[in-house]
Structure 1
Amino acid sequence: MSSTRKTALIAGALFVITFLTSIPAALLLYTPVLDHTNYIVGAGADTRVALGAFLEVLLIVANVGSAVVLFPVLKRQNEGLALGYVTARIIESTFIAIGIVSVLAVLTLRRDVGSTGAGPLVTVGRSLVAVHDWTFLLGPGWVVGVGNGLILGYLMYRSGLVPRRMAMLGLIGGPLIILSGTAVLFNVIQPGSAAQVIATIPEFVWELSLGIYLMVKGFKPSPILPGTTGDAEADKRSPALAAADR
């Protein structure tokens, strides 16, 4: 297996891991602490919530890892944007980390409820959950549109490393994520509303399809890959055939 194929395989696997770690945490494991305002003074489901936090730690590793693995390839297309993609992933992961800490702080305070008193802790618990909600909006709900959507979508489209119709999903989904996140920020739509969910679909399909494609097929021949011929040369020989290939 060539080094380029290994890079594509690892990057694809890391993208798939982001789905396997983020979805259970966001939709299942964090539910008790996020949806129940009195969780901090209740019986609790600490092990379940802690598992969600652990999965999000793995999510951070996969987020940053995918950008770092792709950087040596993407910098041949545009080094500045490739570095920008790594930076966007780090910023996204920073927001996720703050959200993890806020959730774990709820668990710590719940365990100390006997000595601290229940009344004030309810307000503190709600505040910490609110911090988590905003980190989710600003990280996965906004920065992702810039990083995985616009920057990665553009780099993949221009380089031809994946089918360009697939890369277009990133260029479409990125702005939609940004717009919906901004709309939530200014209270135009509600978090988790149908409008926001619909706006995330192109980005969701883009990231998942990219991960699967890189794992199964690897990179397409591209001018930025050594020893290959790419779409730029194909365009010169036969625009019709190059268009059909995309």
Structure 2
Amino acid sequence: MPDHRRLSLAAGVLYLLTFVTSIPAAALYVPLLAGGAHPDPSPTATGAVLEIVLAVSCIGTAVVLAPVVRRVSEVAALGFVAARTTEAALILVGVATVLTLSALRVAGAAADDPSAELLVEAHRWAFLLGPGLIPAINALCLAPALYRGRLVPRAIPIVGMIGIPLLLASATATVFGVFEQTSPLAAAAAAPIALWELSLGLWLTFAGFRNTAVDALV
């Protein structure tokens, strides 16, 4: 197996792993963040482990793609690694807040306790600035490079480039209170970036980079 195929396979699997970990983690946090009845700490701990794996997977996608992407643009490759690392750091900030909140709830803190409310808000902002915003920066670095290098079908990075301004506008609107992070508008704005990452993960896993495109970059 050529080196670039190993790298694309690793990147694809890691991309798919980000979906496998992030979606269940978000669901597991709902009882704690909603502030209802005192939650069992086990789902929160499970979600935290999933998000730690998510953070490592985020960095992994950039590290394994960088050797190929840098042949198209070294700036894009470095930018992608930096953006993915920032996203992972914000994910871990979110993990720290939910684990602290869970500990407070186990200790008997009420949902309306000021410390608990502060931690819920901290998690909300960490999520917005991390998985809610940085994927647009990731796409800004990676999608044009993949498009120019013809490393994957051009329709895939085009979807990513369409999603960049939509996600940036949605995150900005959320910061200014135009709509909530969980609103239908926010979900619609995030859909193209989610589709770009999913389609890229599937393509890299099952097809890999185009051999002729990789050879042309040598």
What TM-score do the two structures reach when normalised by structure 2?
0.95
Q: Does 1:70 align with 2:65?
A: yes
Q: Which runs of 5+ in 2 are unaligned?
A: none
1:191 aligns with 2:181: yes
Asked if 1:108 is matched to 2:103, the reply is yes
Asked if the contact 1:160/1:222 (under 8 Å) is kept, the reply is no
1:177 aligns to 2:172 (yes or no) = no
**Which TM-score applies when normalising by structure 1?**
0.84
**Cα displacement string for residues 40-75 of structure 1 (whole angstroms, at most 9, x for unaligned residues):** xx2x22001110010000000100000000011111
Counting aligned pairs with the same residue, the percent is 41
The runs of at least 4 consecutive aligned structure 1 residues that moved more than 3 Å come to: 118-121
1:74–1:82 Cα contact (<8 Å) kept: yes
- Report the 3-state secondary structure (helix = DSSP H, G, I; strand = E; otherwise coil) of the residue aligned with 1:188: coil
CA shift for structure 1 position 229: 4.3
Partners of 2:11 and 2:61 within 8 A in 1: yes
Is it true that 1:20 corresponds to 2:20 in the alignment? Answer: yes
Q: Please show how residues 47-62 of structure 1 align to structure 2 within 5 Å.
A: 47-62=42-57
Aligned length: 217
Q: Which has more radius of gyration? A: 1
Contact 1:160/1:221 (<8 A) preserved = no
- Aligned ranges 1:1-246 → 2 under 5 Å: 1-26=1-26, 28-36=27-35, 38=36, 42=38, 44-113=39-108, 118=109, 122-147=113-138, 149-223=139-213, 225=214, 228-229=215-216
> Quick one: distance in 1 between partners of 2:100 and 2:29?
13
Q: Which has the higher contact order (CA 8 A, sep 6+)?
A: 2
TM-superposed deviation, 1:222: 4.6
| Structure 1 spans left out of the alignment, 5+ residues | 231-246
Deviations 1:54-105 (A, max 9, x none): 0000000100000000011111111111101000001111111111000000
CA distance in 1, matches of 2:12, 2:111: 46
RMSD of aligned alpha carbons:
1.6
Return the letter of the residue paired with 2:174.
V
Do 1:75 and 1:82's aligned partners in 2 also have CA atoms closer than 8 Å?
yes
Matching residue's letter, 1:90: T
